[in-house]
Amino acid sequence: MEPWRIYRLCRMFGRFPRPGSLDDQPAGLNDWLLAIDDIYRELDARRERARYPA
């Protein structure tokens, strides 16, 4: 996935990676991938709730 698509996906969902352990350390690729993983988990949960409404 291209970096601009990753950024756009994170911006759409308001999920940006947390910076590293130091405040001035920028977020690394792994941090971005974890943010994307959170987005996909949320989308899967939404899909399941839509499929099986309470």
The answer to whether 33 touches 51, Cβ cutoff 8 Å, is no
pLDDT cut 70: percent of the chain above it: 78
pLDDT tens column, 2-16: 777 777 877 787 777
Alpha carbon separation from 42 to 21, 26, 27, 34 (Å, rounded): 25, 25, 21, 12
What is this structure's pTM?
0.58
Question: Averaging pLDDT over each range in 5-9, 16-20, 37-41, which range is the top one?
Answer: 37-41
Segments making up each domain of the chain, as ranges? 3-16+25-51
